[in-house]
Amino acid sequence: MMQGQGVPAPLMLEVGRALSCEVRLSLLMALADGEATVSQLVDHTGTTQPNVSNHLAVLRSVGLVASQRDGRTVHYELASPEVGDLVKALVAVAAEPSDRR
């Protein structure tokens, strides 16, 4: 069994829960392409601004995304290169043929 390398199991569970939502996965995939504003992410997901903002807050609370305010505009990006690697790994695993799962 792989150890969490010092990361508390409850935090790993919170990250897993954050990844278990289609909208949040869509946001992460969009941010894997580069930083974006809430309005750009609303356009990408097709959901409402309050909904996107709430999902971004969940992702931010577990350290998957970071934000930076520029006046009235907030720019979001993946919190680290490791988050980008995680998104790529999720896409790769999901794309595997079903007989290999």
CA distance 35 to 44: 13
Decide: 73 and 87 in contact? Cβ < 8 Å.
Answer: no
Nearest in space to 80 (alpha carbons), one of 101, 98, 58, 60: 60
Largest CA distance in the chain: 50
**Taking 50 as the threshold, does the pLDDT of residue 48 lie above it?**
yes
pLDDT tens profile 17-39: 999 999 999 999 999 999 999 99
Distance from the first to the final alpha carbon of the chain: 19
pLDDT tens profile 80-101: 999 999 999 999 998 877 655 5
Rg of the chain in Å (alpha carbons): 14
CA distance 69 to 99: 45
* This prediction's pTM: 0.85
Using pLDDT thresholds of 50, 70 and 90, give the confidence band for residue 76: very high
DSSP state of 33: T
